[in-house]
Amino acid sequence: MDPLLDFTDHSIIVTGAASGFGALLAEMLDQRGASLVLGDLNQEGLERTAAKLKSSAITLVGDVADEEYAQSLVKAALENYGKLDIAVNNAGIAPPQLKSLAELDIDVLEQQLNVNTRGVALGMKYQLGAMAAKQSGAILNVSSMAGVSGAPLIGSYAAAKHAVIGLTKTAAVEFGKANLRINAICPFFAATPMVDNPVLNPTDNLEDVNQRLAAGSPMKRIGTVEEMVNVMLMIISPHNTFMSGQAINVDGAMSAW
Ligand SMILES: NC(=O)c1ccc[n+]([C@@H]2O[C@H](COP(=O)([O-])OP(=O)(O)OC[C@H]3O[C@@H](n4cnc5c(N)ncnc54)[C@H](O)[C@@H]3O)[C@@H](O)[C@H]2O)c1
C-alpha cells in the first residue's frame, strides 16, 4: 500500500456513501485500512456499498440536514472506534431544474440550502468538537465548480455550494490552533447518478451529456468518479498535514480560462 495513502486504524465518516463519489471513496478507504462510519438517506444503496467492503463498516441511514442524525454519525465513530480522525461531508442533491435567477423558485433554493449547506454545517458542528478534543483531525467538504464561479441556470445549487466554501474556510481559521485541517473539493462534472439524471441528461445519453457539459472545457471531457475520489484521498491523507482552508478545483483546467 502507498504509505501516503495508508488510513490504517483511522476512524472516518463518509456521508452520501450509497452512490457516486461517496460509494467509491468508502471502498478505497476500506482497502486502505480505514474504520468507517457510512451515512446516507438511501438504505439499499448504503447496504450495497457496505457489501463490497472487506471490513465491516457502521452504516447509519438518515438525513444530513437532521441535527440528531448529524450528531449520531459522530457518536457512532466515538463509541465504536474511540475517536474520529476524518470526516467527508459529501452527501448532496442535484439541482432539480434548469432556470435562470429571474425565474427563481424559492422552494428550490431552500431545498438546496437545506441539504447542500445545512447538511455540511451540521456535520461539521459535531465533527469539529470531537476532533478538537483530541487536537487532531481533517474534514473534507464536497463543494463544486458551481461553488467558485457563477453557474447559469443552477443558481440555487451555486449559492448552496458557495456557502460550503465559506463554512470550510471559517472552520479552518477557527480550528487551526486545535490542529484541525478543513478543506473543500470543487469538482467539475463527473458521471455519477447525480449527473446522469433527466435534468442534466434529458436525452438519456451519457456520451451526449459528456459532450455538452464538456464543450467549454479545456480537456473537452467531464471527469471520472475515480479522478475525483483520488484527489479526495490525497486531500485527507494523514501525510497532508499543512494544507487547510483551501477549495481545490478538480476540473481539467476549466477554472484556468
Ligand atoms: N457528480 C458531479 O458532477 C458533481 C460535481 C460537483 C460536485 N458534486 C457533489 O459531489 C457530492 C456527491 O455527489 P455524487 O455526484 O456522488 O452524487 P450521487 O447522487 O451519486 O450521490 C449523492 C449521495 O448523497 C445522498 N444524499 C442526498 N441527500 C442526502 C441527505 N439529505 N442526507 C443523506 N444523504 C443524502 C444520496 O442518497 C446519494 O447516495 C455532492 O455533494 C455533489 O453536489 C458532484
Domains belonging to the chain, first-starting first, are 3-188+225-249 (3.40.50.720), 193-222 (no CATH)
Which is the closest atom of ligand 1 to the Cα of 157?
43
pLDDT by residue, tens only, the chain of 257 residues: 788 999 999 999 999 999 999 999 999 999 999 999 999 999 999 999 999 999 999 999 999 999 999 999 999 999 999 999 999 999 999 999 999 999 999 999 999 999 999 999 999 999 999 999 999 999 999 999 999 999 999 999 999 999 999 999 999 999 999 999 999 999 999 988 887 777 777 777 767 767 777 888 899 999 999 999 999 999 999 999 999 999 999 999 999 98
Cell numbers standing for residue 93:
442533491
Which residue matches cell numbers 431545498? 111
Cα–ligand 1 centroid distance for 20 (angstroms): 7
Which ligand 1 atom sits closest to the C-alpha of 63? 32
Catalytic annotation on 81? no
Give 177 Cα–ligand 1 centroid separation in angstroms: 31
For residue 31 the three cell numbers come to 482497502
In 191-222, which positions are buried (b, 16+ CB within 10 angstroms) versus exposed (e)? bbebbeeeebbeeeeeeebbebbbeebeeeeb
pTM: 0.97
